[in-house]
Structure 1
Amino acid sequence: MLTEERFAKILSILESMGSVTVQQLMTELNASESTIRRDLNALDANGQLTKVHGGAILKTMAYSTKDDNVVSRKEKNRDAKNKIAKYAAEQIAPGDFVYLDAGTTTELMIEYITSHQAVFVTNAISHAKRLAERGFTVYLLGGEFKAITEAIVGEEAVEALEKYNFTKGFWGANGVSLQKGYSTPELKEAMVKKKSMENCKERFVLADESKFNQISSVTFAPFEGATVITTGLSLPAYKKCKNVIDVKQ
């Protein structure tokens, strides 16, 4: 087994178990004690796990319990977001019925969408306005307006989603975790994300690398419940996942 393959396997085991011993890894990877200890030293030096006596524990994940406002988020990791948005927009085909979640990366998608035969539903006023300006057919959900994320949220929005069956959908997330899935800080917004995902055939979460190994207050879908579109990903445990697309250009 190659070094990178062992690294990915070790991190995957840690994601599922939280901690692991050298002996367990020797058995699981069919490797010598010296090899395992060398691997743990390297991963610890890279900040990907915490080495302890006799084994290793999962690097503490970052928790977030509140949203940043849209203005401050728009400029964060903008180059990566543009790459992700362009690739995501290319997945939309003529005849698609698309859900577009509120968010700065999903908003960037709009400039790259070329299929005017697609129809859109969104919970973001800014998205609806830009789609309409570009000549797309778009429906805006009703409900409570959340100023900090500029999203329509709450029970009325969830009820409005009941009648829709989307072919494709694109969501943002504050946190992406193998263990805790896709999460966001606020319950009312999570309800809308969850319901729209449930009513969608092909689901895509758009996330730059800063969102990985992050956990927010409310999980709205399990990790395997969507395909993640990202770019510049350096985390081995995620790179090997079949539902992760790492955009190269």
Structure 2
Amino acid sequence: MLTPERQQLILKFIKENKIATIHQLVKETDSSESTIRRDLIQLEKENKLVRFHGGAQMIKSKSEETSISERLTANFSEKKAIAGKAAEYVEKGDCIFLDAGTTTFHMIEFLRKDTIVVTNGLSLVNECLDRGIETYVVGGRVKSKTKAFIGKGALEGISAYRFDKSFIGINGIHLNFGYTTPDPEEAMIKKAAMDLSNKAYVLADRTKFNQVSFSFVHDLNKASIITDSLGDHEEINQYNQITTVETVKS
């Protein structure tokens, strides 16, 4: 297969599936792993896709957001593995903040019943209550797409609490630009939760690395990162120089 033809197949597959691993592209194009890696490097240089550790995805607008229902089904097994690991850090009687994200939503089934949860995630409330977990909501305006409480009311509400730990979902993790997310108002809530916590954790699958969204949340050293396997240990070490990165098997 000629290089242009193979690269068109790669772009077509990623466009249809939003994201692709190198293993998937090897199978799809009947090519070697080294060939696919070279193709991805070239296509990224041409600004046609964005590589991540072990694969690639289409380029997103820095302000683009997906709905909560779309995110709940994306990378499901990876998020469940990350959520389960994150819940292991919750100790007896902890008061924690759960961000309005899908990975934090998956944490709830693993939480101790004596945990106190504060959240800005509307979709998390019923799940917590159904499991008998004492739950507080920060208040404010509800954003329709992400079901997050945001705005002045949410900021005032969250300021009344102090957390043993906070667990934050994020859209972008970058060595130079830190943690980022599309919406400035959601960024303010994430930052406040991290600042009000004794310990902050960022929960992110491998697709969030080397990505930059519109709104700055915090520097990398503000939180420890829990993620699924990145594959390339040399690149993991780049992040470990700034913060703690723990990888889990999905």
For residues 100-139 of structure 1, the aligned pairs below 5 Å read 100-113=98-111, 115-139=112-136
What is the alpha-carbon distance in structure 2 between the residues aligned to residue 164 and residue 238 of structure 1?
36
What is the alpha-carbon distance in structure 1 between the residues aligned to residue 200 and residue 131 of structure 2?
24
- Counterpart code for 2:184: L
Figure out how many residues of one structure are paired with residues of the other and give that number. Answer: 203
What is the alpha-carbon distance in structure 1 between the residues aligned to residue 123 and residue 175 of structure 2?
31
Structure 1 residue ranges (4+ consecutive) displaced by more than 2 angstroms after TM superposition: 44-50, 59-64, 234-238
Q: Are residues 196 and 225 of structure 1, via their aligned partners in 2, closer, same or farther at CA, if it must alter by over 3 Å?
A: same
For residues 53-202 of structure 1, the aligned pairs below 5 Å read 64-113=62-111, 115-202=112-199
Corresponding position of 2:38 = 45
Q: TM-score, normalised by structure 2?
A: 0.74
**Secondary structure, counterpart of 2:69 in structure 1:** helix
Q: Are residues 246 and 46 of structure 1, via their aligned partners in 2, closer, same or farther at CA, if it must alter by over 3 Å?
A: farther
Q: Are residues 78 and 232 of structure 1, via their aligned partners in 2, closer, same or farther at CA, if it must alter by over 3 Å?
A: same
Gaps of 5+ in 2: 1-33, 46-50, 53-58
CA contact (8 A) 1:209 1:231 kept: yes
2:220 to 213, 219, 223: 223
- Counterpart code for 2:65: D
What is the alpha-carbon distance in structure 2 between the residues aligned to residue 167 and residue 211 of structure 1?
25
**Secondary structure, counterpart of 2:212 in structure 1:** strand
Q: TM-score, normalised by structure 1?
A: 0.74
Corresponding position of 1:15 = none
What is the CA distance between 1:234 and its match in structure 2? Answer: 2.7
What is the alpha-carbon distance in structure 1 between the residues aligned to residue 100 and residue 68 of structure 2?
10
- Counterpart code for 2:186: E
**Secondary structure, counterpart of 1:205 in structure 2:** strand
Query: 136-145 or 226-235: which moved more?
Result: 226-235
Please identify the structure whose Cα radius of gyration is greater. 1
What is the CA distance between 1:48 and its match in structure 2? Answer: 6.5
Corresponding position of 2:245 = 244
What is the alpha-carbon distance in structure 1 between the residues aligned to residue 183 and residue 60 of structure 2?
17
CA contact (8 A) 1:62 1:215 kept: no
What is the alpha-carbon distance in structure 1 between the residues aligned to residue 232 and residue 127 of structure 2?
34
Report the aligned-residue RMSD.
Answer: 2.7
Q: Deviations over 1:7-53 (max 9, x none)?
A: xxxxxxxxxxxxxxxxxxxxxxxxxxxxxxxxxx99x8385699x9x
Aligned-pair identity in percent equals 34
